[in-house]
Amino acid sequence: MVYDTIRDLIAQADQAIREERFDDLMEFYTDDAVLVLRPGREAHGKEEIKRAFMAIARYFNNSLVPSQGKMMMLEAGDTVLVLSQSFVEAEKKPDSEYPSERRATYVYRKVEGKWLCAIDNSYGTTLLDSADKTE
């Protein structure tokens, strides 16, 4: 049931991104959420995350279509780790180097009875490619 609930929330968030409803999108995040923009660059909190999504939409010339494929969840009480095949399509993609398929890691937390995204990392474990051993 948690699987279906969270999968549905992610689909709703993707829909909000497609329709550029960024205020609605923020309803899916915790107040102290973190979004990975690219390796080494993060947005913290709803205000920064919202601004980042607006910048991403501009980068993709307002044609961004995110979606999820295979998904797996690991549940520990009020904390869920989501592993997800994540796709980004964009008609007007300016840079063909932008990877269109990824293996994302999201952490969801149940806060006051509601599942919210606390950690949004579409890069998954590939962030380790650019990590310093002593970081």
Bridge partners for 3 per DSSP: none
CA angle 91, 53, 37 (to 5 degrees): 95
Instruction: Identify the three-state secondary structure at position 8.
Output: helix
Residue 64 sits in the site that holds a second copy (CB under 8 A): no
Among 13, 34, 64, 88, which residue sits at the site for a second copy (rule: CB under 8 A)? 34
Among 19, 79, 91, 114, which residue sits at the site for a second copy (rule: CB under 8 A)? 79
Whose tokens are 């609605």? That residue is 24
Asked if 13 contacts 35 with a C-beta cutoff of 8 angstroms, the reply is no
Q: Could you tell me the smallest distance in angstroms from the CB atom of residue 9 to a second copy? A: 16
Catalog residues that contact a second copy under the rule CB under 8 A.
3, 30-34, 36, 42, 44, 69-72, 74-77, 79, 81, 83-85, 103-105, 107, 109, 118-119, 121, 124-125, 127-128, 131-133, 135
